[in-house]
Amino acid sequence: MSSATSAHSVVEPSARTKRIAGIIVVLYAVITMVPLAWIFMTSFKSPPDSISYPPKVVFTPTLEGYCNLFTTRTRQTPEYIQSLGPPQSICDEITRGRNMVIAGPSNYWPRFTNSMVIAFGSTFLAVFLGTLAAYGFSRFRVPLADDLLFFILSTRMMPPIAVAIPIYLMYRELGLSDTALGMILLYTAVNISLAVWLLKGFIDEIPREYEEAAMIDGYTRLQAFRKVVLPQATTGIAATAIFCLIFAWNEYAFAVLLTSGSAQTAPPFIPTIIGEGGMDWPAVAAGTTIFLVPILVFTILLRNQLLRGITFGAVRK
């Protein structure tokens, strides 16, 4: 008993414990990274390599997937291709090698841009409105505050798709179907409950003495909010923004249902990339790889804030 309990030192885990913990963490990370790594590799494979069996781990990388992702192509006779001048780009060269010529740009870039506009737009709105609402709930005696907060949260108690049909009908009536504005409003509405609850927690932690001091120091409440509360809530705002952005960026069900053309986002578009004779998996993988980049950059930029945000309250500042 005594020897067993002495191992449970509060000072520092033993080297062996640390090693085992490290192995478990690395193993788990590897397992979760495999699908991502596989997509990344597939994006550099040729179409035959991407569907070969057994799957190829070693292969000759090619940019064909990326070329196919960004272009539309037409098949031409070898004589016609011969008659053309020298290839304009690496994609030109790859395409001609397959007896095709580039006919024009694909829809990927516009869809990607839609995703950017809609995800960042709705994140901004959700965080902006969420911060103000959370501040209100945190600082003022709002009648029926608890009921209102519960009501706000209750919008998250079912899968969003459960209300898809009413929303579809409503959007059609209002002319919001397949518009960026419609999608921004929708994602804002879904995210705002998360934003209000998260941010209320963060703002509750900021002592109100700070604003009161600022108000006595000659600032109005709104100025005090901007000068004193906002700078201290940045951690919470950053964490909330990341969660909202991840939702809006990855959302698929509403995007499929409510967008088809000009406002379509990348998630419903990527699976529709079809090459000659079936799915063009390298192009799909290329689309997915590029799709990961913005969220990765955003998360890395706000990484420190996010870490502090998650441990908020656990550590004394």
Partner 1 sequence: MAEVTLAGISKTFGQTEAVHNVSLTIRDGEFVVLLGPTGAGKTTTLRLIAGLEAPDSGRITIAGRDVAGVAPATRDVAFVFQQYSLYPHLTVYENLAFPLRSPARRLQDAEIDARVREVAKMVRIDHKLQNRSTRLSGGEMQRVAIGRALVRKPAIYLMDEPLSSLDAKLRAELRLELKRIQSELGATLLYVTHDQVEAMTMADRIGILAEGKLVQIGTPREIYSNPANLHVAARLGQPHINLLPQGLLPGCSAPAGTKTIGARTEHLEISASTPGNAEIDWIEHLGDQNHLHIRVGEHKLVTLADPYLAIQRGDRINLKLRNPLYFDAGGQRLT
Q: Which is nearer to partner 1, 196 or 228 (CB)?
A: 228
Q: Which is nearer to partner 1, 16 or 316 (CB)?
A: 316
* Minimum CB distance to partner 1, residue 142 (Å): 16
Q: What is the 3-state secondary structure (H, E, C) of 63-80?
A: CHHHHHHHEEEEECCHHH
Give SS3 for 169.
helix
Given 37, 217, 296, 313, the residue binding partner 1 (CB under 8 A): 217
Cα 243 versus chain centre, distance: 8
**Rounded distance between C-alpha atoms, residue 50 and residue 64, angstroms:** 12
**Sequence-ordered alpha helix ranges (H) in 71-107:** 78-83, 90-97
Given 7, 58, 157, 216, the residue binding partner 1 (CB under 8 A): 216
What is the DSSP secondary-structure string of 233-276? HHHHHHHHHHHHHHHHHH--HHHHHH-SSTT--HHHHGGG-EET
Size of interface with partner 1, in residues (CB under 8 A): 18
* Minimum CB distance to partner 1, residue 160 (Å): 36
User: Does residue 78 belong to the site contacting partner 1 (CB under 8 A)?
Assistant: no
User: Does residue 129 belong to the site contacting partner 1 (CB under 8 A)?
Assistant: no
**Rounded distance between C-alpha atoms, residue 1 and residue 218, angstroms:** 65
User: Does residue 214 belong to the site contacting partner 1 (CB under 8 A)?
Assistant: yes
User: Does residue 220 belong to the site contacting partner 1 (CB under 8 A)?
Assistant: yes
Given 176, 228, 255, 258, the residue binding partner 1 (CB under 8 A): 228
User: Does residue 145 belong to the site contacting partner 1 (CB under 8 A)?
Assistant: no
**Rounded distance between C-alpha atoms, residue 297 and residue 299, angstroms:** 5
Interacting residue ranges for partner 1, rule: CB under 8 A: 207, 209-210, 212-220, 223, 227-228, 231-232, 317
